[in-house]
Homo-oligomer: A and B are copies of this chain.
């Protein structure tokens, strides 16, 4: 796996019981995954020679993030290394312009969008629809709110163009809530769909995920799952695909979804599966990229809630950690081994049970206590 972040850490964890030999390409020995994996190569994923040397002896290459240059992936594939997901799939998660064009081509519902050339073009884009505000995104390089701007006039639209990367304009969707439809697909073409979840963002960062999404109509749930399965098939995705969705009301006032983002790797919206599903997203990602039969994606509990643990003002979480474990012996804590910095994702917690209010309270309490925003 290329990339030493928490997704690689948790993928290794899921691969241990499957008997998988896991080799990691990591930026530094201190990276989240590098702390727990036996076979670690330290190197730069942007360097083709490093990637080539790393890939030697691997049965398959997969990714913790989407930042490996597409041309390097094509070169590795030409060398005969199975890349999963492959470069022709992964480019849709790397380049938002390519993604939107493909989703349009397969008829997947998207926010109104087009590539814009300068602030004056942003003005025209706004005028073509309901006006400002407009969302601008650099087509490459953004995540967790980075590389995304909400602009209220063409005067505010200069910054996104400074990087010299094409800029995608999108209508600001008036959504009811955010959902995610997560699926896993193998080279055989076998695919599984997890229950559709609700994802609650705070300041552009995922804060809480509720599985399954409460009060979601069975029709829309099935539509969202089928949409994600269709995207996986049409884009030839191998491994875990997260389809981030906006739930909206259509012209008739009926619930509908629009595709917000795609991620082709284990995803924050699937962390609940570690403790809430029969097979976790990490285990199924490993099974998919190795073309093993996939595991059952169904939930094990009525409700599972994931809350991200962000760093707070106190670098030492130990006392809070003890408190949370003692307060809730059912709490499932997942720490990433990262130094605590304010706002940095350093872990997450999962809770599950039959009473959604209780399950949410327990997750929120633990995440808030670990961050230091709740002191009781």
Contacts and interface: CB of A to CB of B under 8 A. Distances in A.
Interface stretch (A11-19, A44-52, A83-91, A146-154): A11-19
Interface stretch (A171-179, A226-234, A242-250, A328-336): A328-336
A279 B35 CA distance: 23
Contacts of A35: 21, 38
A369 to B, nearest CB: 13
B12 A36 contact: yes
Interface in A1-51: 9-10, 12-13, 16-19, 21-22, 34-38, 40
Number of copies: 2
Does more than half of chain A's interface fall in helix, strand or loop, or is it mixed? Answer: loop
A58 interface: no
A105 interface: no
Interface residues of A, number: 40
A335 B38 contact: no
Interface string A282-316: 00000100001111100010000000000000000
Given A17-B13, A17-B333, A292 B325 contact: yes
Given A36-B38, A38-B35, A335 B293 contact: no
A10 B330 CA distance: 20
A98 interface: no
Nearest to A15: B36
Contact of A38 (B34, B292, B293, B331): B34
